[in-house]
Structure 1
């Protein structure tokens, strides 16, 4: 089983939204079964899943102290991917989660404040020896700042080619347990998530050219 950890020191970067959507996309792409884990005390991912009518992806409640054992049990249960959401901070607890990751995805908004905050998250992933990449989120269409942000992030690591734009359907989907793929399967938001999932999957499977 591969473990994907969403981590970012900055709150509001879209960790929970990406975690939910990547897990749903993995299932829709035939790459499941996939399971979600929420380590954020705010439990936003758990709340989304509890509103969800679909049976997939699965959700596995656990505590940080039981996380290692839980992941081992999920692997034995033949889950292929575990997607873990984390709180917006850099703490010893998050270091423990990141150390268990096969891949760390760092959502980052194209804003000066967010760009200044990525350093500690990068240090955390690098210090744990975990491969990581940035995913640009809540981007504005045709914005020079988006291009500048991708250039700035590329100096610190790999940047996902899929840019997640700021659209209402992402926020709407998180209210009632759905995803943008279920709201509008042929929409631009769904295409961006599909592209991001293919990138993450390729990076975890050793394709270093997926950038």
Structure 2
């Protein structure tokens, strides 16, 4: 089975597309290959990033007419070990069916009251599907009170990644021409955070695989 990460949040602007692209590139840099990404957001931000990207990896995959599960099965047949799926900012039946196919659901949340209010609907759909999830504090401001409050609030709803992704201009700058912050400067603080986040996620996925937890 191809291991599948679904990046989901009801709140628009939470940074799902940026996380999807950065984690996919980082996974390949750390030796996971090939990595597939799927863009299910009608706004097609991930597809736009891929169109201006110079390297042809990670591979942007279109969902087959037979559906997402058939697409993932096809990737598995082709030996693809990892697929990361970007989703629209909505709670719909299609989101529910996508989440149901996840080995891990990544829920980014900015340190803001609106984002915190919105996580409940996403958590409900993940719990209903019985899939594992992890929160990621995204676009944080260092040493701010609201970041600390966000961490405390999210930890009451479920597991929280031990690294926060901070708000920095290189994330946006890199996305404009199909790169990532790490491809601009692998030693930057942004690149280090993405590396640490992927290392944590990879460990979560490895433990699921090691203990033979069924994916779908």
Give the TM bin, normalised by the shorter chain.
Answer: over 0.9
Q: Give RMSD over aligned pairs.
A: 1.1
1:168 aligns with 169
- Cα contact 1:39–1:63 (8 A) shared by 2: no
Once structures 1 and 2 are overlaid, which stretch shifts more, 79-88 or 61-70?
A: 61-70
Q: What secondary structure is seen at the aligned counterpart in 2 of 1:10?
A: coil
Q: What secondary structure is seen at the aligned counterpart in 1 of 2:57?
A: coil
Matches within 5 A, 1:1-211: 1-62=2-63, 66-206=67-207
- Cα contact 1:38–1:46 (8 A) shared by 2: yes
What is the Cα deviation at residue 174 of structure 1?
1.2
Q: What secondary structure is seen at the aligned counterpart in 1 of 2:152?
A: helix
Per-residue CA distance 1:125-183 (angstroms, 9 max, x = gap) = 11101000000001011111111101110001011011000000001111110001100
Residues in 2 aligned to 1:160 and 1:186: alpha-carbon distance in whole angstroms: 21
What is the Cα deviation at residue 18 of structure 1?
0.2
Per-residue CA distance 1:31-75 (angstroms, 9 max, x = gap) = 221100000111110110111001211110126852111111111
What is the Cα deviation at residue 83 of structure 1?
0.3
- Cα contact 1:39–1:64 (8 A) shared by 2: no
- Cα contact 2:26–2:198 (8 A) shared by 1: yes
Provide the TM-score with structure 2 as the length reference.
0.93
Per-residue CA distance 1:3-47 (angstroms, 9 max, x = gap) = 000000000000000000000000001122110000011111011
Residues in 2 aligned to 1:131 and 1:206: alpha-carbon distance in whole angstroms: 12
Unaligned stretches of 5+ residues in structure 1 = none
Q: What secondary structure is seen at the aligned counterpart in 2 of 1:97?
A: helix
- Cα contact 1:37–1:60 (8 A) shared by 2: yes
Once structures 1 and 2 are overlaid, which stretch shifts more, 97-106 or 195-204?
A: 195-204
Q: What secondary structure is seen at the aligned counterpart in 1 of 2:88?
A: coil
What is the Cα deviation at residue 206 of structure 1?
2.2
Residues in 1 aligned to 2:95 and 2:191: alpha-carbon distance in whole angstroms: 29
Q: How many residues align?
A: 207
Q: What secondary structure is seen at the aligned counterpart in 2 of 1:206?
A: helix
Residues in 2 aligned to 1:97 and 1:2: alpha-carbon distance in whole angstroms: 13
